[in-house]
Structure 1
Amino acid sequence: MTDLIPALRHLLTLAWQCDPRRLLRAAAMVAAGCLATPLIALCLKGLTTETLAGRGGSAVLLGLAAAALLVLELMMGHFAHLAYFELGDLGEVELQNRLVALAHGRPGLEDLDTPRFADTLALVRDDLPRTRASLEAALQLGGLAIQLGLTAVLLGLLDPWLLLLPLLGAVPVLAGNRAQRLLDTAKESAAPHQRLGRHLLDVATGHATAKEARLAGAAPFLLARHHREWQAGTRLLGRAHTRAAALRAGGQLCFALGYAAAIWLVVRQAQHGVSPLGDVILVITLAAQLSLQVGTAIQLLTVLQDAGRTAHRLDALKPLTPFHANKSDATSAPLVLTRGIRLEHVSFQYPGSTRRVLDDVTLDIPAGTALAVVGENGAGKSTLVKLLCGLYRPTGGRILVDGVDLAAADPADWQHRIATLFQDFARLELRLRDNTGIGDLDRIDDDAALSAALDAAEAAPVAAAVPGGLDGLIGRSYGDGVDLSGGQWQKLGLARALLRRDPLLLVLDEPASALDAAAEQTLFERFARLVADSRARTGAVSVLVSHRFSTVRMADLILVLEHGRLVQAGGHRELLDAGGLYAELYRLQARVYA
């Protein structure tokens, strides 16, 4: 029962924040409908007594009253359902907003790289559609408490021993609570298996991966692995469900014995003339209602315990330590770079790992520098870029921007001064305006700025091919939009980066991976002009990550990473003359393209 009070508080607070009037209206209708139920039993007792006494008029009136109460019960339940159905929708949307906020609760990506955080996030995401049922359960449980209270009063007035019957109703409730805890533990243990199983199924059936899986003949392999993972999770849940069912059955059996004893007691009293027949009818009706109420209570508590676990998991998603305890103390990013960026003994390892992806990197990047980062796969290039962008904080050392430690700066302020195109850029199947405008939300309705960014990215032909122009839909997943090639998507990603005004850091991470040779050459000519313009206006540092050594020769400074360590730094000619890894990789690639 430990999750019940937090669950009720969470749901009712959420509903009150969404629409207090609708909440009060729904609660009043639920209460009215629930009060009618035991009153029907009281009318049936009176009906029986009046009929046996030969008072037909009174019997008819009591019969009509019972019918009216039954209609009231049904009507109130129906109209209350309409109220909390809409309220549940509002609550689910609000929780979705909170979940997104919690997933991005830190400016960095450390939480998203933690398996426990990812598992909890997946569990909450799966549970959110049940918000409507949870809110309904909270209101119905309140009405049920009213019913149980009135039922106990009516039974106690007949015979104090009958008060044991509502008390016995707590046994199956407690057993159900214990059963639910078993299921919750099993769900958490099964979450990694289920998450991996869903991923494998997505790979086998997803639009982006199905063609590769089919050509490789990988579907049987993926499905076999999916089956193993799903079976592992199902075994955990199956054992828990069996134990939970046994607990609930034991609780129900205990109440059933009490129910039988109550009926025996009043029938025996009636046989001895102690109780009139009307009391027997009343007890049988109330006991039947109580049996239904106990069963309903178990179901409602199960739903509410799920809601309590969801609320607990939402709390668990909150960052343990915020990026800045006091944002007002954070330093703002400079408007222009005068000195540049300095890395002092920077090291980094991902959460839960002991391997250093970057190891003791010390480097000065003067303002206005065009920087290129090269190295073999896994050398730490993308991680270095993410550290510069403030998406991660170094686990050792520090990064200074014009002498200000990024750890003391406002992350959002610094990230607002960065323009990026990552290798795994987002493909937003929205309007062309949204896809481009998300690069600078303040300019999403500025048609001239959007068109200029598209032109700068050589994406104007893409925009011209979209019916409806900037307000036309891209992609076919959510409507009849235009399907784009990989290169066209990448140009739109570049346009997003170019929309950002006066950046202090420009990052292109493998920007030409989906472009042909001519488009690649055009891209880097545009990038060179952008670098020169940004250097003159803001002293911006530009960073290019690429495997193609022909494109990094334009850089003022080239960094060579190997196994997370900075092994060489200098200009193209300087590094060729020095020999080492850069010269080796450059000449190897030159021979391939010769």
Structure 2
Amino acid sequence: MKTLLLAVHQLLRIAVRCDARRLTRAVALMAVGFLSTPLIALCLKSLTTAAVAHDASVATWLALCTALLLVLELMMNHFAHLSYFELGELEELSLQNEVIALAHGSSGLEQFDSPGYADTLALIREELPRTRACLEAVLQLGGLVLQMALTSVLLGLLDPWLLLLPLAGAVPVVAGNRAQLLIDRAKELAAPENRLGRHLLEVATTQSSVKEIRLAAAEDVLLRRHRADWSRASRVVGGAQLTAAVLRAAGQLVFAAGYGGAIYLVVGRAVSGGAGLGDVILVITLASQISLQVSTALGLLTALQGAGRTMERLAELRGPAVHDDDALTDVPAVLTRGIRLENVSFSYPGSDRKVLDEVTLDIPAGTALAVVGENGAGKSTLVKLLCGLYRPTSGRILVDGADLAGCDARQWQSRTGTLFQDFARLELRLRDNIGIGDLGRLDDDPALHTALRAAEAEQVEERVPGGLDGLLGRGYGDGAELSGGQWQKLGLARALMRRRPLMVALDEPASALDATAEHALFERFADLCAGASAETGAITLLVSHRFSTVRMADLIVVLEKGRVSELGTHAELAAGGGLYAELYDLQVRVYS
């Protein structure tokens, strides 16, 4: 019941916020339509009595009243639908916006590493489209409550024992509520398998992965895994559905017994002369209406229970209010000293393994720093920490002496240009793909063209019909298809849109390019960053496996199992005989 009330409260609150006038109009129209139904039964009783008494005049007027009420019953819900349908769409849009805002409510990414958070988010995304119809369910449920209240009054006036009939109608409602709780719990238990099943479906049907699956002849393996995951999820949910069906059937049987008892009571009174034919017609009509009301209410409650669970999951995403914006330190306008890591360790949420372990490192202002190491050494994690996307598990990161944890994270991130290894491919306009790097200049064509040239991506614009306003990708329209390298160049152009950056972080910025193209690109990029370094003391952070690019950096740090094993220039490290020299010699032999 708590979940149901939460759904009703939240849906009405959002509807009032979206359009209170439209909601009021829909409520009034639906109230007229729903109250017409029991009044029809009352008119039929009086019409029957008048007909038996051969009172043609009264019978005629009652027939006209019945016809009018039938018109109101049929038409008012239709006119109300015109109001609440668009209101339901506005509610869904409002909830979608809230989910996006909650997902990005924190400056960090810690919550995305929690399996529980991922499952909650997946369930919300799956259920949100259903909330569009839930406002209608709330309004109809309210109409049913009014309808049943009037029905109860009419039955009670005829015989107080008949008030038990609406009470019998409450039994299947309670049973249906319990049944839906069982189904919701089963869905939560099956959420990991369902999420994996959807992932396998996407992998097996997405163009970027289908070619590898086809060449590897892995269709059958994926199909078996997909079937196994869905079978496990179906067993859990199917068992709950069966139990829920039994509960609902038991509730309906209790109501059927009450329905039969009410008919028996009134017919018995009519036979003994204690009730007229009109009373029998009234009870039969009202009892059949209650049957319809109960079955309708069960369907509405099922929908609203689901909506209530969605609202509860949204509340889980919101979590407790955290006021971490008080007394935050502004980031410096320019870097004069640089960035220092003091005994920084980091473990991802839910894991005890230290990805970084007691890292101490000084990065002077204006330095181009390269980070190298084998896979899993912690290179990308170090970049994310420096970008403020995570906070160290222990230790601290200082920016010109100020602890980054105490700085305004959003402000720091706005002064950071980044391109990650798993860069975004935004199937939007070309303008949007670049301009999102600095939203204030989304419509600044000269700035966008400058970023394209800096990323050597002018040819991308040339092949996109419509230029900057042309669509990319085929997912949402007939847009231009790009290669992996072209998408990556657009990601680089985004990073270059930042004005007066204090740090530019490039995590494998040209992994889709060949070694020669990467070297040329980084040379050009280094020249552009030199201006920013001179102006703001900006630090350039580069993660790459290609030593032809790495050797251009002012300073190179080598990570090994989450620790700093070496630090120095290319010449120093190449002559040091350590891991860097070993990796460098190996790559030289491969390319020679």
Would you say same fold, with TM above 0.5?
A: yes
Whether the 8 Å contact between 1:4 and 1:305 is mirrored in structure 2 is yes
- Which letter does structure 2 place at the counterpart of 1:305? Q
- Which letter does structure 1 place at the counterpart of 2:175? A
* 1:516 aligns to 2:514 (yes or no): yes
Match of 1:388 in 2: 386
Q: Distance in 1 between matches of 2:454 and 2:132?
A: 47
Match of 1:335 in 2: 333
Please state how far the C-alpha of 1:106 moved relative to its aligned partner.
Answer: 1.1
Whether the 8 Å contact between 2:454 and 2:525 is mirrored in structure 1 is no
Whether the 8 Å contact between 2:519 and 2:548 is mirrored in structure 1 is no
- Which letter does structure 2 place at the counterpart of 1:531? C
Please state how far the C-alpha of 1:321 moved relative to its aligned partner.
Answer: 6.7
Match of 1:65 in 2: 65
- Which letter does structure 2 place at the counterpart of 1:108? G
Match of 2:181 in 1: 181
* 1:363 aligns to 2:356 (yes or no): no
Q: Distance in 2 between matches of 1:321 and 1:19?
A: 28
Q: Distance in 1 between matches of 2:222 and 2:92?
A: 33
* 1:404 aligns to 2:387 (yes or no): no
* 1:156 aligns to 2:153 (yes or no): no
Whether the 8 Å contact between 2:451 and 2:497 is mirrored in structure 1 is yes
Q: Distance in 1 between matches of 2:535 and 2:234?
A: 60
Whether the 8 Å contact between 1:105 and 1:319 is mirrored in structure 2 is no
Aligned-partner SS, 2:557? strand
Q: Distance in 2 between matches of 1:30 and 1:402?
A: 65
Cα distance change, pair 527–104 in 1 and its aligned pair in 2 (3 A): same
* 1:533 aligns to 2:551 (yes or no): no
Cα distance change, pair 354–328 in 1 and its aligned pair in 2 (3 A): closer
Please state how far the C-alpha of 1:326 moved relative to its aligned partner.
Answer: 4.0
- Which letter does structure 1 place at the counterpart of 2:29? M
* Percent of residue pairs bearing the same amino acid type: 67
Aligned-partner SS, 2:496? helix
Please state how far the C-alpha of 1:173 moved relative to its aligned partner.
Answer: 0.8
Cα distance change, pair 454–433 in 1 and its aligned pair in 2 (3 A): same
Match of 2:245 in 1: 245
Q: TM-score, normalised by structure 1?
A: 0.98
Please state how far the C-alpha of 1:384 moved relative to its aligned partner.
Answer: 0.4
Match of 2:275 in 1: 275
Aligned-partner SS, 1:120? helix
Match of 2:26 in 1: 26
* 1:561 aligns to 2:559 (yes or no): yes
- Which letter does structure 2 place at the counterpart of 1:432? L
CA deviation vs aligned residue, 1:137-195 (integer Å, no higher than 9, x gap): 11111111100100000000000000011111111111111111101110100100000
Whether the 8 Å contact between 1:7 and 1:311 is mirrored in structure 2 is yes
CA deviation vs aligned residue, 1:104-161 (integer Å, no higher than 9, x gap): 1211111011000000000001110011221111111111110010000000000000
Whether the 8 Å contact between 1:124 and 1:314 is mirrored in structure 2 is yes
Aligned-partner SS, 1:420? strand
Please state how far the C-alpha of 1:519 moved relative to its aligned partner.
Answer: 2.4
- Which letter does structure 1 place at the counterpart of 2:45? K
Match of 1:208 in 2: 208
Aligned-partner SS, 1:515? coil
Whether the 8 Å contact between 1:84 and 1:132 is mirrored in structure 2 is no
Please state how far the C-alpha of 1:320 moved relative to its aligned partner.
Answer: 4.7
Whether the 8 Å contact between 1:106 and 1:319 is mirrored in structure 2 is no
CA deviation vs aligned residue, 1:199-241 (integer Å, no higher than 9, x gap): 0111111121111111111111111111111111000000000
Q: Distance in 2 between matches of 1:202 and 1:470?
A: 30
* 1:296 aligns to 2:296 (yes or no): yes
Match of 1:451 in 2: 449
Aligned-partner SS, 1:208? helix
Q: Distance in 2 between matches of 1:132 and 1:202?
A: 25
Note the aligned Cα RMSD (angstroms).
1.0
Q: Distance in 2 between matches of 1:50 and 1:207?
A: 74
Please state how far the C-alpha of 1:561 moved relative to its aligned partner.
Answer: 0.7
Match of 1:493 in 2: 491
Please state how far the C-alpha of 1:522 moved relative to its aligned partner.
Answer: 2.2
Match of 1:85 in 2: 85
Q: Distance in 1 between matches of 2:95 and 2:81?
A: 20
Match of 2:114 in 1: 114
Give the number of equivalent residue pairs.
592
Aligned-partner SS, 2:374? coil
Correspondences of 1:431-446 after superposition (within 5 Å): 431-446=429-444
Whether the 8 Å contact between 2:31 and 2:143 is mirrored in structure 1 is yes
Match of 2:377 in 1: 379
Match of 1:136 in 2: 136
- Which letter does structure 1 place at the counterpart of 2:254? C
Q: Distance in 1 between matches of 2:308 and 2:161?
A: 35
- Which letter does structure 2 place at the counterpart of 1:539? G
* Gaps in structure 1 of 5+ consecutive residues: none
Q: Distance in 2 between matches of 1:21 and 1:398?
A: 53
Match of 1:308 in 2: 308
Q: Distance in 2 between matches of 1:120 and 1:395?
A: 25
Please state how far the C-alpha of 1:516 moved relative to its aligned partner.
Answer: 2.9
CA deviation vs aligned residue, 1:84-104 (integer Å, no higher than 9, x gap): 110010000000000001111
- Which letter does structure 2 place at the counterpart of 1:466? V
- Which letter does structure 1 place at the counterpart of 2:295? G
Whether the 8 Å contact between 2:515 and 2:546 is mirrored in structure 1 is no
Whether the 8 Å contact between 2:359 and 2:564 is mirrored in structure 1 is yes
* 1:264 aligns to 2:264 (yes or no): yes
* 1:589 aligns to 2:582 (yes or no): no
Aligned-partner SS, 1:532? helix
Aligned-partner SS, 2:522? helix
- Which letter does structure 2 place at the counterpart of 1:149? A
* Gaps in structure 2 of 5+ consecutive residues: none
